[in-house]
Chains A and B, each alone.
Chain A
Amino acid sequence: MTPRYLPYLLILPVTLFLGLFFLYPFVLVAMQAFDGGGRFSLENFQEVVDYWKFPISLRNTLLLAAAVVPVQLALALLMATMVTRMQKGRDLVLYIWTIPLGISDLAAGIIWLAIFEQSGFLNSMMSGLGLIDRPMNLLSYQNLGLAFLAIALAEIWRATAIMLVILVAGIGLIPKEYYEAAEVFGASPWQRFIRITLPLLRPSLQTALILRVILAFEVFAVVAALGGTLFPVLMSQTYAYQFELLNGGAAAAVALIILAISIAATLVILRVLRVPKGATI
């Protein structure tokens, strides 16, 4: 009773939409990046890479991702295993822990600005404890390490929740029988975590890491709110090219570089955490 074209009719809107607003602009951005006065050239990339801020922003972006993602992974795993053991108050704790999921990077930056700015809560706390006499300027060129720490903390605070949600959902799919069997054979909680939870969680870990790493390379508003120009990252370079330097070709080139890094990271994660065929639960 179902006409054969029905599924195609149903997916048509999404396909058209993604074609028009995802594939087509993607082709456009690539063409713009490789365009040097009407013909194919690498001029834009050359210009972008030679700019003195490029190595710094590339390093900052990668450093930030390298500092933030492992901490988030560990924290999300800890939270997820704690939640699964919880009997009372599970819903409330989960709600609180997932609140940052709904908070934008800009708002997260502003929240941590309230703590780290010169008249902010960290300074107030330190002066209340008698550690300092007058407020220090924590986010300045003199304290670049501290600015990095503030940005990293804000990122960890904001984006651990997305990993937590994926991991909690993944742990929920692991059959309880495995744990019961392991207990019968006398496995300690740590052994159960290493031998059962981690291997069976691999698909979820994969998803969580890919999503998180890609978002980490796109970091922008947190940095803008906390560091401003102190801490250039790739995305802020794109923004600057587009708006301050009005150089669309260069902006597109940086965009493609971010894309290339994201794809490379995705492939690495897929390879390292590959799920053996037919080994899904």
Chain B
Amino acid sequence: MTAATPAGRPASDARRAGRLVYLAVVGLLCAWVLVPIYFLLVNTLSSPEAVNNFPKAFWPEFDLASLTFFAQFAGMLKALTNSVLVAALTMVMSILIGAPAGYALSRFDFPGKAAFRLLVMLTRAFPLPLLALPLAVMFIQTGLDDTIFGLALVHTTLALPFAVLITFSLFSGIPIELEESAWTLGCTRLSAFIKVVLPLILPGITASAIFAFVISWNEVFAAAVLTIENRTLTAFLLQNLDTSPLHLKFAGGFILVVPALVFIFAVRKYLFAMWGIANR
């Protein structure tokens, strides 16, 4: 960088201008992401009257009436609880089912491995929520219809390919030599895994579990198709889009966004590592 141009005034001026443009674009792109969220925050923290009023103030009045209205709206708290439960179940199931497969992919070469990888990849490349339609019929036959567990099963299908590929990349990042030395010191395969691999992998597993949580928390279509009485928050909001007042929509939207902010912050370190290898 430094030796390429002779150190003269015009060059350094140009570089400073370039630097300014660069910073301005970065700032602009940050604003592009943040300002819409800020607007939602303003609406959420304003009274219902202010939300429906015109013109709108550009700062919140810190009135909790909209949020209280949201909390007292019939069925809303139950929908919120359902969302949390489904997402938690999805998180647990996708890790418990997915992580062993990720381990197998990273540690063993076995006939059929390529076919298995293809199956997992295929799942990710398909518009999965569409499969909720036949599942609705299947669930009625088995009594799983309109249950939290039934929906969690579908969301687990959505989250599984990610869980498998992410844990695959995490396990691949841990040298097998660590495990092998544990075996020579008298550990069995299982105890070596628990004592050596698990502690190293736990933060990454947590990150991919959170990712599964977010996938379920955000899912709209399957949730709307598969639940009637036990609606999740997304399904509830979607169903009432035509009829619900603005302040209810905005408060609901805000409640949907908050966990996203927290979770992305929690997994930010792993986001790129997870995608980097999972995409090979």
Q: 1/0 contact trace for B237-253 toward A, CB 8 Å? A: 11001100010011011
Counting from the closest, the 3 A-B pairs by CB-CB distance are A102-B260, A104-B218, A110-B253
CA gap between A100 and B56 in the complex, in Å: 25
10 inter-chain pairs at a CB distance below 8 angstroms, sorted by A residue, are A21-B156, A26-B126, A101-B260, A127-B54, A165-B271, A172-B272, A217-B127, A218-B130, A252-B133, A259-B130
Q: Are B25 and A225 in contact, CB atoms less than 8 angstroms apart?
A: no
Q: Please, which residues of chain B bring their CB within 8 A of the CB of A24?
A: 138
CA gap between A28 and B139 in the complex, in Å: 13
A162 CB to closest chain B CB, in angstroms?
9
**Which B residues are within 8 Å of any A CB, using their own CB?**
1, 4, 22, 25-26, 29-30, 32-34, 36-37, 39-40, 43, 51-56, 58, 96-98, 100-101, 103-105, 107-108, 110, 112-113, 116, 119-120, 123-131, 133-135, 137-138, 153-154, 156-157, 160, 164, 183, 189, 214, 217-221, 224-225, 234, 237-238, 241-242, 246, 249-250, 252-253, 256-257, 259-261, 263-265, 268, 271-273, 275-276, 279-280
Query: In this complex, what residue of A is CB-closest to B249?
Result: A110
User: Contact residue range for chain A?
Assistant: 35 or more
Q: Please, which residues of chain A bring their CB within 8 A of the CB of B189?
A: 1-2, 6
Query: In this complex, what residue of A is CB-closest to B34?
Result: A96
Query: In this complex, what residue of A is CB-closest to B274?
Result: A169
- Given A21-B154, A93-B26, A111-B253, A29 and B134 touching (CB < 8 A)? yes
Q: Please, which residues of chain B bring their CB within 8 A of the CB of A214?
A: 125-127
User: Could you tell me which residues of chain A, from 161 to 211, have a CB within 8 Å of some CB in chain B?
Assistant: 165-166, 168-170, 172-173, 183, 186, 203-204, 207, 210-211
B225 CB to closest chain A CB, in angstroms?
6
Query: In this complex, what residue of A is CB-closest to B108?
Result: A7
A167 CB to closest chain B CB, in angstroms?
9
A97 CB to closest chain B CB, in angstroms?
6
B84 CB to closest chain A CB, in angstroms?
14
Residue from A32, A78, A86, A113 with most neighbouring chain B CB atoms (10 Å): A113
Residue from A100, A110, A214, A217 with most neighbouring chain B CB atoms (10 Å): A110
Across the interface, B33 reaches (CB within 8 A) one of A14, A97, A112, A252, namely A97
Q: Are A169 and B131 in contact, CB atoms less than 8 angstroms apart?
A: no
CA gap between A238 and B36 in the complex, in Å: 30
Q: Are A157 and B33 in contact, CB atoms less than 8 angstroms apart?
A: yes
Q: Please, which residues of chain B bring their CB within 8 A of the CB of A106?
A: 218, 220, 234, 237-238, 253, 256
- Given A98-B268, A169-B279, A22 and B157 touching (CB < 8 A)? yes
CA gap between A239 and B129 in the complex, in Å: 11
Q: Please, which residues of chain B bring their CB within 8 A of the CB of A173?
A: 276
B135 CB to closest chain A CB, in angstroms?
5
Across the interface, A14 reaches (CB within 8 A) one of B97, B271, B276, namely B97
User: Could you tell me which residues of chain A, from 62 to 121, have a CB within 8 Å of some CB in chain B?
Assistant: 78-79, 82, 85-86, 91, 93-107, 110-115, 117-121
A204 CB to closest chain B CB, in angstroms?
6
Query: In this complex, what residue of A is CB-closest to B54?
Result: A119
- Given A107-B256, A224-B241, A259-B126, A15 and B116 touching (CB < 8 A)? yes
Q: Are B97 and A13 in contact, CB atoms less than 8 angstroms apart?
A: yes
Q: Please, which residues of chain A bring their CB within 8 A of the CB of B43?
A: 114
A16 CB to closest chain B CB, in angstroms?
9
Besides the known contacts A14-B160, A238-B133, 10 further A-B residue pairs in the complex with CB atoms under 8 A apart: A13-B101, A21-B154, A103-B218, A106-B238, A107-B256, A112-B36, A113-B250, A214-B127, A221-B234, A252-B133
Q: Are A18 and B119 in contact, CB atoms less than 8 angstroms apart?
A: yes
Q: 1/0 contact trace for A18-39 toward B, CB 8 Å? A: 1001101110110010000000
Q: Please, which residues of chain B bring their CB within 8 A of the CB of A165?
A: 271-272, 275
Q: Are B268 and A121 in contact, CB atoms less than 8 angstroms apart?
A: no
CA gap between A18 and B29 in the complex, in Å: 39
Q: Please, which residues of chain A bring their CB within 8 A of the CB of B276?
A: 169-170, 172-173
B271 CB to closest chain A CB, in angstroms?
6
CA gap between A183 and B22 in the complex, in Å: 20
A3 CB to closest chain B CB, in angstroms?
9
Q: Confirm or deny: A10 has a beta carbon within 8 angstroms of a beta carbon on chain B.
A: yes
Q: Confirm or deny: A145 has a beta carbon within 8 angstroms of a beta carbon on chain B.
A: no
